[in-house]
Chains A and B, each alone.
Chain A
Amino acid sequence: MLRVAIVGCGKIADAHAHQIRRISDCDIVAVCDTEPLMARQLAERFGISRCFTDLGELLSETRPDVVHLTTPPESHYKLAVMCLERGSHVYVEKPFTLNYPDAKRLLALADEKGLKVTAGHDAQFGHVARRMRALVKSGYLGGVPVHMESSYCYELGDSGYVRALLTDKQHWVRRLPGRLLHNIISHGIAKVAEFLQTDSPHVIAHGFVSPFLKARGETEIIDELRVIISEENGTTAYFTFSSQMRPALHQLRVYGPTNGLIVDQDQETLIRLPGAKGKSYVEKFVPSLNFAGQYLSNLDMNVRSFLRRDFHMSAGMHYLIESFYRSITEGSPVPIPYREILLTAKLMDDIFRQLDVQQHHDKGSSL
């Protein structure tokens, strides 16, 4: 029986607790939050016996096998180091760390201690993402991806989170190197990182504050981002983050030398894009039928999953946690290769560095 602890008792901790409860052979033995009331509410609702306000005490008194870090990102590195030093495996919510050097040190420490770590890139493990991975492994693309397009959008709307972020100049999201982007884009960047071949791709980033935010007096929070990523071997990718474009896509398009794929996370659809073209008018009629059939097939799979009670909104998180636990108990590989975690962190560092330079330049020229 794996002994699990959750550190940080905010909104995402609820999702973790729900998913952990659905996994057999594990038990949430303790929760921790610097705000005692927050720790108490999580423990009370999920029937968890121990509450702490200090991680050191939690680690000493309950000796958990795994710790889930669901705290604000700036604390991830320090807390993860503490857990590893005390012998616990760690699940770190996204963004993994504030920067690439911290990510590298953390993973090196895990290796040194013989412990395992994963990042909360759960969008990589939804039903459709897993189906896509299996298809790519089967060789459907016909080789290494030639080009990818990852769109990861976020509807600002009028949520409390956004209102708080816009009005509170001390909000923790503002303290992140990439601000709003830092807290969100790792899901979309990880989708690209999975298929990149080298460790130092070239990155060109362009970001700006949307007219929507500007109209609300915001000048610092970049909520529109376009990125071009390229590798020496010829693989390229576009990454788009937008708070304004509609539909607000969460989508990956991968084009190989033979065929392509479209993975839509929101609709849970996987569409094959056959590379071969039909002759003359055949191309005008047959592909539409093909796509109609594929969408019907996706519908069928989704309905069947739902009827099997296997179509939860947090299916990706459930799968990731279960796979991570299995990697601990059975010694199987970690669900997210460390190379992918590091590359995601590196790409994000490159993007934020360029946006910083751009913002300084923009400020300088406006003076």
Chain B
Amino acid sequence: MAESELTESVMTQEGNLIGQNEPVLVTGATGFIGYKVVETLLERGFRRIRCFARPTSSMSKLEQLIARYGQDAEIDLIQGNLLRREDCLDAVKDIAVIYHLAAGAGEKSFPDAFMNSVVTTRNLLDAVLQQGGLRRFVNVSSFTVYTNDRKPSGALLDESCSVESDPRRITDPYCYAKVKQDELVMEYGKKHRIPYVIVRPGSVFGPGKTQITGRVGIDTFGVFLHLGGSNHLPFTYVDNCADAIVLAGLRQGVDGESFNIVDDDLPTSREFLNLYKSNVRRFRSFYVPHAVSYLFCLLWEKYSVWSHGQLPPVFSLRRWRAEIKPTGYSNAKLKSRLGWAPKVPMDEGLHRFFDGCREMRRDA
């Protein structure tokens, strides 16, 4: 090992909140980001990792990691349900840092999303209280919690921006669940002094995902409506995102902070769509100007209220502001406080993503 590398490695270890032999828990460990968090921890030399996943999850990828790192590291696989308090107690036993990625993503009803994000988080936090000794709880949230309201078009969305506080304005179950999950974590931090950090990834992409984010547009009735136009996309490549999450659990002096995760060199929606078409598949798309999508969301929302939900409020001004409104993004806090830098440049990340998309299309 070169001298400079050795020095960096020792410094990283010394600057960390925990040592490499202290046990770390990753919930949602089989998920798209969770798996990468486990891999990143192993790459960073952590040797005792407990991976928690639902019984329905496939453990094959984690088993591959065990095969790769098993000789040097102790990787526990626990399949359970965070809705069961006894499973939570088993999961947090002797753990120094928790990376909490498990969530009710994809749930279409508010109660289901809430139960699988908030009730599960409460159970985990209660188990932490009972167990004691936790050094940090890293809560993985989402950009969806920001209102992106009362700001001029193109203004910066950073960690100081307001988070949704009126639950009756929220029409998306995932958003509601994440807002409440964040509130709960902050409440436990304040009341019970559980040290926490909240991380909010933007739109995470990488091999394994094929969907085009709704920030670019929607595929409806065989036509792709391009909504993003010249907006910058808050992309973060999955490896970079995982690295930021891992650092949020390791860096000292950031308790109670929140961090937005986006990469450098963010492409615009139009640039991304053109690249996707030339690298993955050709399809017809129609650009919908922001004024038109705004009007559409406004009318849909009004109709939904007027008709007492005959059409559910799937399009709303809140959604327009969160996904379509021209917005700037920053990773300045991430870089300055966590010392993070994207390991995979945007071009390379997009290249790998498109390769993954092509591969999955071939397999399908």
Contacts and interface: CB of A to CB of B under 8 A. Distances in A.
Contacts of B309: 18, 312
B118 to A, nearest CB: 6
A279 interface: no
Given A163-B56, A164-B56, A35 B109 contact: no
B111 A14 contact: yes
Interface in A10-42: 10-11, 13-14, 18, 21-22, 35, 37-38, 41-42
Nearest to B122: A37
A233 interface: no
A167 B55 contact: yes
Interface string B83-107: 0000000000000000000000011
Interface in B108-154: 109-112, 114-116, 118-119, 122
B112 A160 contact: yes
Secondary structure of the B side of the interface?
helix
Contacts of B310: 306, 309, 311-312
B167 A45 contact: yes
Most chain A beta-carbon contacts within 10 A, residue among B176, B306, B310: B310
A345 interface: no
A309 B308 contact: yes
Contact of A13 (B111, B116, B119): B111
B109 A14 contact: yes
B71 interface: no
Contacts of A38: 111, 114-115, 119
A44 interface: yes
Contacts of B122: 37
B307 interface: yes
Interface residues of B, number: 25
B53 to A, nearest CB: 11
Contacts of B308: 21-22, 309, 312
A167 B56 contact: yes
A13 B115 CA distance: 14
Most chain B beta-carbon contacts within 10 A, residue among A13, A21, A45, A47: A45
A300 interface: no
Given A164-B56, A168-B55, A37 B306 contact: no
B292 to A, nearest CB: 24
Contacts of A22: 308
A309 B107 CA distance: 27
Nearest to A163: B56
A35 B106 CA distance: 22
A47 B114 CA distance: 17
A9 interface: yes
B48 interface: no
Interface of B: 54-56, 81, 106-107, 109-112, 114-116, 118-119, 122, 167-168, 176, 180, 306-310
Interface of A: 9-11, 13-14, 18, 21-22, 35, 37-38, 41-42, 44-45, 47, 160, 163-164, 166-168, 306, 309, 311-312
12 contacts: A10-B112, A11-B109, A35-B115, A35-B119, A37-B114, A38-B115, A41-B110, A44-B167, A160-B116, A166-B56, A168-B81, A309-B308
Top 3 A-B residue pairs of the complex, sorted by shortest distance between their CB atoms: A167-B55, A163-B56, A309-B307
